[in-house]
Amino acid sequence: MTPPGQRVSLAAVRLSDVDLGLVHLLEESELARSTTFRSPTRRDAFTAGRIALRLHISALTGDSPKSLKADYFCPVCSNPTDPGHGIPRYQLPSSNARLRVSLSRSGNWCLLAASLNHGIAAIGVDIENGAAADFDGFASLAMTANERGLLQKAPPAMTAKLQTRLWVRKEAVLKALGTGLATAPSLIDVSALTPAGVRGPALWKVEDIGPASVGLPEDFVASIATRQRGDAQ
């Protein structure tokens, strides 16, 4: 089997390099969502990420970035007051091909993932900068017993980075599940690269992404989770 990471187009983009003049590529629902950010920095980061994601999909499918129809879906709320949020989905004008995408921002960077592979049912990516998950009480709130065991065995100098590593794996799985943090992170175990706590664990794979392999700065931690279609093995 080809490793999932090789069936997914991945790219890291520096948000400040994205031309915000391309905001016309976005749809009403996306522009409406951008107005919900009070901080101009966060608003620009949101807009840049959405533009970059359209350009990334366009490079994969050949469709023009403006022709992609955003169809974000939140499985938690059926009547969103925050439009255009949830699982990122885009309809292609050219075909009914199964497009799967994911996006993660941290600081001035975002990681984008897109796949047209028929065998992939869901993708999630997550990035964090350095030891972002290193705060008091984090392990007891978000980690499983297995994960806490790994952290206890790690040399003290490695603990913060390992905690962040486990966190990005976990967020990648939660995004591929489509629930995000509406599922308690402590229910998903990512101490191994086949996650536990998900349905059909054999269909799942988590991969750590070397920052240099996608052009992220060295202090970033990144992971991708993929779920295969049940009938594709």
Write out the residues near ligand COA by the rule CB under 6 A.
46, 49-50, 74, 76-77, 85-88, 103-105, 126, 171, 174-175, 178-182
Burial letters for 83-121: b for 16+ Cβ neighbours within 10 Å, e otherwise?
bbbbbbebebeeeeeebbbbbbbbbebbbbbbbbbebbb
Residue number with the smallest Cβ distance to ligand COA: 180
Q: How far is the CB of 29 from ligand COA (least distance, A)?
A: 11
Q: How far is the CB of 207 from ligand COA (least distance, A)?
A: 16
Burial of 179 per CB tally in 10 Å (0-12, 13-18, 19+): middle
Q: Which is nearer to ligand COA, 133 or 203 (CB)?
A: 133
Q: How far is the CB of 177 from ligand COA (least distance, A)?
A: 7
Amino acid at 77: C
Q: How far is the CB of 74 from ligand COA (least distance, A)?
A: 5
Q: Is the dihedral of CA 135, 136, 142, 143 positive or negative?
A: positive
Q: Which is nearer to ligand COA, 50 or 169 (CB)?
A: 50
Instruction: Round to whole Å and give the CA distance between 25 and 14.
Output: 18
Q: Which is nearer to ligand COA, 162 or 174 (CB)?
A: 174
